[in-house]
């Protein structure tokens, strides 16, 4: 086989065989073909697409490029949860302990943030002492004893995906549905769970900008899961506005702590309850209604909060010591009215510029910086009210203006859309 022949074949809209995709992926992993050649192959997929069978082939090859985790010995229902990333997305910190407190095992391997969206690993690392790296044996022991564990992604799982994803990020070939689907599903299937819940963000602050493309991606992932006898459920959630009130690594951990104390943003609460109910109902094979009643009880009784504390403590974290040292700047409203929009993309760019994000995986970030929204969607605002507080360690020349420009305040209150768009099974 020759790489150029395979690339030309895809460029001519011809269907690739399993062996051809396997040759390209494995040759790249073993450094038998260059970054430039693999870039040409990735771009051919980006522009010409892949059939469902070809997407499955790519997923399977990436799974087989590394190790897989066997969770069959765990004597509890197991569910994995994945988010495609969004602005202020601290959902894993909330739903994992809720589901675990219901007797469901939640194994989670999380990556670091790249670009404008933060990674769960970064948020957890803002807690002093939290250990992201654990041996497979320690990871499985925690799942057995606590019920949930969140560690950094293993370098040995879906090895090909890590290398190809880094290349895609470098050349800008990120928003391709078959490439996204195979990337997500190779890691999820290799991680061993039979039930996989995916929170697929849609809107300005997400990879998927519109419902049509997000639906296509969701259906593709559900079908890939079926190849492996995995139950995959995708919930499309709105990311035109940020999730919750806090954006920034340490700030989002603080919002999760407040959540379990009963202080929460409505949109964050609605999505957290919905996803954790979906996780519990699917894993325990009970009705969604029964699962939701259980979730609300676990939150109100404090059991979910206790599980959150136990999980963080087990992995060495100290919730009284968070890397949150930063200066504060209050930004006040110059007008009165109602908050009808908060531009999540503009907001994420501001937080990124403050130092909360990275371009490359090895870049250092500032865990403490970010924004806390004092006024959010639907809130009434009077002139002079504090709209938000910027947490910074390096002062940007235009951060007050940048924050103000994220808000649309109008005299008439607009209808706020529900955060949950639809669920695809």
Residue with tokens 């007008």: 335
173 burial class (0-12, 13-18, 19+ CB within 10 angstroms)? Answer: middle
Q: Is 339 helix (H, G, I), strand (E, B) or coil?
A: strand
> What was the pLDDT predicted at 292?
98
Q: Torsions phi, psi of 339, nearest 5?
A: -80, 110
> What was the pLDDT predicted at 136?
85
Tokens representing 37 are: 């050649």
* C-beta atoms surrounding 345 within 10 Å: 18
> What was the pLDDT predicted at 117?
60
pLDDT in tens, 212-268: 999 999 999 999 999 999 999 999 999 999 999 999 999 999 999 999 999 999 999
Catalytic residue annotation = 82, 161, 168, 183, 187
Considering only the C-alpha atoms of the chain, give the largest distance between any 2 of them, rounded to a whole number of Å. Answer: 68
pLDDT in tens, 183-207: 999 999 999 899 999 999 999 888 8
Contacts of 345 (CB under 8 A, 6+ apart): 87, 116, 204, 205
Confidence of residue 320 (pLDDT cuts 50, 70, 90): very high
Helix (H) or strand (E) segment spanning residue 238: strand 231-238
Confidence of residue 116 (pLDDT cuts 50, 70, 90): low
The reported pTM is 0.92
pLDDT in tens, 357-391: 776 767 788 999 999 999 999 999 999 999 999 99
Mean of pLDDT values over 49-64 = 96
On whether the CB atoms of residues 408 and 339 are closer than 8 A, the answer is yes
Domain ranges of the chain: 3-49, 80-159+168-314, 327-410
Looking at domain 80-159+168-314, its CATH class is alpha beta
Confidence of residue 153 (pLDDT cuts 50, 70, 90): confident
List the single range of 104-118, 238-252, 283-297, 335-349 with lowest mean pLDDT. 104-118
Beta strands at 195-202 and 80-83: parallel, antiparallel or unpaired: parallel
385: left (phi over 0), alpha (psi -120 to 50) or beta: beta
Q: Torsions phi, psi of 236, nearest 5?
A: -85, 125
Average pLDDT, the chain: 93
Tokens representing 424 are: 């695809």
Q: Is 325 helix (H, G, I), strand (E, B) or coil?
A: coil
Mean of pLDDT values over 67-76 = 88
> What was the pLDDT predicted at 115?
56
The share of the chain scoring above pLDDT 90, in percent, equals 81
Q: How many Å apart are CA 419 and CA 271, to the nearest integer?
A: 7
Judged against a pLDDT cut of 90, whether residue 111 lies above it is answered with: no
The DSSP 8-state label assigned to residue 334 in this structure reads S
Mean of pLDDT values over 15-26 = 97
Looking at domain 327-410, its CATH class is alpha beta
Confidence of residue 313 (pLDDT cuts 50, 70, 90): very high
> What was the pLDDT predicted at 109?
84
Judged against a pLDDT cut of 60, whether residue 286 lies above it is answered with: yes
């Amino acid at each position: 086989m020759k790489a150029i022949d395979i690339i030309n074949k895809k460029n001519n809209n011809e269907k690739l065989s399993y062996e051809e995709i396997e040759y390209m992926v494995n040759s790249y992993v073993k450094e038998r073909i260059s970054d430039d050649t693999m870039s040409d192959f990735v771009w051919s997929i980006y522009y010409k697409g892949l059939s469902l069978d070809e997407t499955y082939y790519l997923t399977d090859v990436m799974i087989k490029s590394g190790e897989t985790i066997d969770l069959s010995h765990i004597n509890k229902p197991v569910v994995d949860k994945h988010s495609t990333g969004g602005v202020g997305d601290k959902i894993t910190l909330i739903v994992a302990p809720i589901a675990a407190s219901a007797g469901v095992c939640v194994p989670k391997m999380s990556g670091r943030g790249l670009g404008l969206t933060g990674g769960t690993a970064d948020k957890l690392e803002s807690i002093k002492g939290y250990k992201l790296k654990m041996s497979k044996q320690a990871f499985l022991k925690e799942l057995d004893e606590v019920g949930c564990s969140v560690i950094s992604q293993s370098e040995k799982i879906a090895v090909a995906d890590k290398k190809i994803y880094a290349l895609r990020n470098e050349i800008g070939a990120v928003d391709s549905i078959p490439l996204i689907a195979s990337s997500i599903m190779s890691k999820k299937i290799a991680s061993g769970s039979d039930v996989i819940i995916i929170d697929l963000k849609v809107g300005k602050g997400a990879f998927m900008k519109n419902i049509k493309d997000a639906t296509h991606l969701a259906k593709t992932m559900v079908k890939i899961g079926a190849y492996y006898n995995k139950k995959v459920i995708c919930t499309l959630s709105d990311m035109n506005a940020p999730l919750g009130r806090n954006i920034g690594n340490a700030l989002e951990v603080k919002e999760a702590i407040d959540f379990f104390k009963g202080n929460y943003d409505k949109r964050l609460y609605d999505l957290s309850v919905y996803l954790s109910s979906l996780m519990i109902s699917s894993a325990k094979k009970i009705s969604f209604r029964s699962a939701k009643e259980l979730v609300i009880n676990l939150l109100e009784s404090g059991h979910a909060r206790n599980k959150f504390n136990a999980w963080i403590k087990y992995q060495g974290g100290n919730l009284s010591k968070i890397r949150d040292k930063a200066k504060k700047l209050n930004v006040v409203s110059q007008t009165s009215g109602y908050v009808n929009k908060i531009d999540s993309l503009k907001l994420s760019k501001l937080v990124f510029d403050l130092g909360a994000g990275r371009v490359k995986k090895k870049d250092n970030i500032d865990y403490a910086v970010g924004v806390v929204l004092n006024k959010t969607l639907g809130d009434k605002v009077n002139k002079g009210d504090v709209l938000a507080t910027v947490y910074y360690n390096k002062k940007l020349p235009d951060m007050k203006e940048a924050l103000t420009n994220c808000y649309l305040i109008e005299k008439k209150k607009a209808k706020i859309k529900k955060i949950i768009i639809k669920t695809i099974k």
